[in-house]
């Protein structure tokens, strides 16, 4: 045992009894504040907690699986203690609707002020981390009215289409007419990273769809996104340690967070300054997210500061790259394990892009085709049901005492909605663990059942249409242009990794080769 570990251990042994006593006294004071409310509603059930750490010893990853197992034992609504913080875990559609889409929507519209969020989200100033109130409404209004309108999404479709075809061109050049093995996770991250950077500042980190050398800047950005997702959103124990233990920073998490913040700020401000110089020179060119926001800033500097532009850009980069890339990777994994679904999706795309039935497709998939591709949409929706990009959504927090499913939830309680469990609830879904895209063929969310990969209520993700467009073009282009096969006879490993999002534990590898009917089109892009 080294000296630092020994000191930390001795400190903990001295600190535990004192903190346990303080925690007990705080609970007693809180329980006496509103006895009428506690008599009216039952306290949240849950497993017995340990002093100081609460249930942090149960923090087995992936966390959504652990919480699903606990829900089977303690009910669809139960409580945990992450350190001293009370957490309500909701694992049923009815309770989720009550919290986020019904009577308690406003009560749970806040975000918990996690220490990692203070560092990475500039004192909780991003749209995803800001608490409900005037500032959050202002940030969301700017995002929705300036960046997420139907016109803007249509405008960005050109960027998405360009990058999807660039990836197809790179895969074609790597394979020629032959059969090649590829690791898709990296390719998909490159695709989405270039698509997001094209939207934000009309730049690409990688060559045409991944051609050529990968720059140091690109490597850094990928590592930054992955580390951010690993350290954010109730996914790390560090957020729930007592302040004294966080200060000790035994695992170095705090130092990693501050390094991330400094490097991200420098990177983002560089993009803003570059776009500002181009605007002054009249070289604005294609409308970009930063360009749009700088135009808003020129009219009202206080309404759209550089800090706000940075927060909107980092939110878009992090959410748009990893979650969309992971969704396509999960979808391809499911299609490789279910080749009949792959064939059905391909036939639909061929029929849409061909002028003659059974004829050779005269053109590549375009964004305007997506609304006509019902089965492709079903594949994406079924993928989002089985592997939601945020399996616990982004945490919420109660701004007042309230009741959920008859249980008393005190003010300041953190809420985790286990979408992974809701999407696989056997009371809602037939064969809940099976891949059945046809269940969405009614054009809705699987009938009257709840699918909430983008959240719901006031804090629902406003970029849903944008994300579906990026995923649809990326996945659809891969299906249309290439024949895909599993690497071996075994099914693709579908184990989940851990973090704020839901990455595959084992990155997807597959064999592919250009479809003979697409060779002439691939050679021209």
Q: What digits encode the pLDDT tens for the residues 42-66?
A: 789 999 999 888 998 887 889 999 9
Residue 468 CB-half CA count within 13 A: 24
Sign of torsion, CA 146 150 155 161? positive
The pLDDT confidence band at residue 25, using thresholds 50, 70 and 90, is very low
- In this structure, of 63-72, 76-85, 147-156, 202-211, the range with the lowest mean pLDDT score is 202-211
Query: What kind and span of H or E run contains 469?
Result: helix 464-481
- In this structure, of 99-103, 165-169, 248-252, the range with the lowest mean pLDDT score is 248-252
* pLDDT of residue 27 exceeding 80: no
Closest Cα to residue 127, out of 386, 382, 394?
Answer: 394
pLDDT at 410: 95
| Residue 502 to residue 265: CA distance in whole angstroms | 26
CB 330 within 8 A of CB 337: no
Q: Tokens representing 243? A: 């302040």
pLDDT at 4: 41
Closest Cα to residue 319, out of 183, 217, 193, 478?
Answer: 193
* pLDDT of residue 5 exceeding 50: no
pLDDT at 446: 57
Q: 140 vs 130, 133, 173, 363, CA distance in Å? A: 10, 11, 42, 38
* pLDDT of residue 444 exceeding 80: no
Q: Which residues on neighbouring strands pair with residue 90, listed in sequence order?
A: 77, 417
Backbone angles phi, psi at 413, to 5 degrees: -80, 130
395 CB-contact burial (10 Å; exposed 0-12 / middle 13-18 / buried 19+): buried
More confident of the two residues 20 and 306: 306
* pLDDT of residue 111 exceeding 80: yes
Mean pLDDT of 134-145: 94
* pLDDT of residue 2 exceeding 50: no
CB 500 within 8 A of CB 229: yes
| Residue 480 to residue 232: CA distance in whole angstroms | 36
Coil, strand or helix at 149: coil
461 annotated binding-site participant: yes
Closest Cα to residue 99, out of 503, 350, 519, 422?
Answer: 422
- In this structure, of 280-284, 310-314, 499-503, the range with the lowest mean pLDDT score is 280-284
* pLDDT of residue 36 exceeding 90: no
Mean pLDDT of 254-265: 88
More confident of the two residues 245 and 119: 119
| Residue 383 to residue 221: CA distance in whole angstroms | 26
| Residue 265 to residue 267: CA distance in whole angstroms | 5
What share of the chain has pLDDT > 90, as a percent? 58
Sign of torsion, CA 391 394 397 402? negative
> What pTM, to 2 d.p., does this model score?
0.88
Q: Order across the sheet with 509-514: list the strands.
A: 180-183, 509-514, 482-486
| Residue 429 to residue 439: CA distance in whole angstroms | 9
| Residue 234 to residue 131: CA distance in whole angstroms | 16
The pLDDT confidence band at residue 495, using thresholds 50, 70 and 90, is very high
pLDDT at 344: 98
Q: Tokens representing 461? A: 């993700």
* pLDDT of residue 95 exceeding 70: yes
* pLDDT of residue 21 exceeding 50: no
Domains of the chain, CATH where assigned: 34-522 (1.10.630.10)
pLDDT at 284: 60
The pLDDT confidence band at residue 361, using thresholds 50, 70 and 90, is low
* pLDDT of residue 517 exceeding 60: yes
pLDDT digits (tens, 9 = 90+) for 307-342: 999 999 988 887 788 899 999 999 999 999 999 999
Q: What angle do CA 45, 97, 82 make, to 5 degrees?
A: 40
Mean pLDDT of 269-292: 84
Coil, strand or helix at 513: strand
The pLDDT confidence band at residue 234, using thresholds 50, 70 and 90, is low
pLDDT at 355: 55
Q: Which residue has the tokens 């590898």?
A: 509
More confident of the two residues 235 and 313: 313
* pLDDT of residue 211 exceeding 60: no
Backbone angles phi, psi at 37, to 5 degrees: -65, -35
Could you tell me if residue 259 is left (phi over 0), alpha (psi between -120 and 50 degrees) or otherwise beta? alpha
Query: What kind and span of H or E run contains 77?
Result: strand 77-82
- In this structure, of 209-213, 252-256, 384-388, 408-412, the range with the lowest mean pLDDT score is 209-213
The pLDDT confidence band at residue 39, using thresholds 50, 70 and 90, is very low
Average pLDDT over all residues of the chain: 86
pLDDT digits (tens, 9 = 90+) for 144-175: 999 888 888 998 999 999 999 999 999 999 98
More confident of the two residues 31 and 302: 302
The pLDDT confidence band at residue 447, using thresholds 50, 70 and 90, is low
pLDDT at 86: 95
* pLDDT of residue 112 exceeding 50: yes
Closest Cα to residue 80, out of 100, 63, 101?
Answer: 63
pLDDT at 286: 56
Backbone angles phi, psi at 163, to 5 degrees: -75, -35
pLDDT at 228: 76
């Amino acid at each position: 045992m080294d000296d630092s570990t020994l000191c930390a251990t001795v400190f903990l042994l001295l600190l535990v009894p004192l903190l346990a006593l303080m925690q007990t006294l705080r609970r007693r004071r809180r329980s006496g504040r509103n006895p009428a409310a506690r008599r009216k509603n039952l306290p949240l059930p849950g497993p017995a907690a340990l002093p100081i750490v609460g249930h942090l010893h149960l923090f087995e990853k992936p966390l959504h699986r652990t919480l699903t197992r606990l829900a089977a034992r303690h009910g669809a609504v139960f409580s945990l203690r992450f350190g001293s913080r009370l957490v309500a875990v909701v694992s049923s559609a009815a309770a989720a609707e009550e919290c986020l889409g019904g009577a308690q929507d406003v009560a749970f519209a806040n975000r918990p002020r996690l220490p990692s969020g203070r560092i990475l989200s500039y004192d909780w100033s991003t749209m995803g981390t800001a608490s409900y109130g005037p500032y959050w409404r202002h940030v969301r209004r700017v995002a929705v009215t300036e960046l997420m309108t139907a016109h803007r999404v249509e405008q960005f479709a050109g960027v998405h289409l360009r990058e999807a075809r660039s990836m197809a061109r790179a895969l074609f050049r790597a394979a020629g007419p032959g059969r090649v093995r590829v690791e898709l996770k990296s390719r998909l991250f490159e695709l989405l990273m270039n698509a997001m950077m094209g939207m934000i500042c009309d730049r690409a980190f990688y060559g045409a769809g991944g051609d050529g050398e990968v720059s140091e800047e690109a490597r850094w950005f990928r590592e930054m996104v992955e580390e951010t997702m690993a350290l954010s959103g109730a996914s790390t124990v560090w957020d729930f340690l007592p302040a004294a233990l966080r200060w000790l920073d035994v695992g170095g998490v705090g130092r990693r967070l501050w390094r991330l913040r400094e490097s991200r700020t420098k990177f983002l401000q560089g993009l803003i300054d570059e776009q500002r110089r181009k605007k002054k020179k009249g070289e604005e060119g294609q409308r970009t997210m930063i360009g749009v926001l700088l135009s808003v800033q020129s009219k009202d500097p206080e309404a759209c500061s550089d800090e706000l532009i940075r927060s909107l850009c980092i939110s878009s980069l992090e959410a748009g790259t990893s979650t969309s890339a992971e969704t396509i990777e999960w979808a391809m994994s499911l299609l490789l394990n279910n080749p009949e679904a792959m064939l059905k999706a391909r036939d639909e795309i061929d029929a849409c892009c061909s002028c003659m039935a059974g004829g050779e497709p005269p053109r590549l998939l375009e964004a305007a085709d997506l609304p006509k591709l019902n089965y492709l949409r079903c594949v994406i929706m079924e993928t989002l049901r089985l592997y939601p990009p945020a399996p616990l959504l982004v945490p919420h927090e109660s701004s007042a005492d309230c009741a959920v499913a008859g249980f008393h939830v005190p003010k300041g309680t953190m809420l985790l909605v286990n979408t992974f469990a809701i999407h696989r609830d056997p009371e809602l879904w037939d064969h809940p663990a099976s891949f059945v895209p046809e269940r969405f063929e009614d054009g809705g969310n699987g009938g009257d059942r709840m699918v909430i990969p983008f959240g719901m209520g006031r804090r629902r993700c406003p970029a849903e249409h944008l994300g579906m467009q990026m995923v649809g073009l990326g996945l659809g282009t891969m299906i249309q242009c290439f024949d895909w096969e599993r690497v071996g006879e075994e099914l693709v490993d579908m184990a989940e990794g851990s973090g704020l999002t839901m990455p595959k534990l084992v990155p997807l590898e597959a064999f592919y080769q250009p479809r003979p009917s697409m060779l002439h089109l691939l050679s021209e892009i």
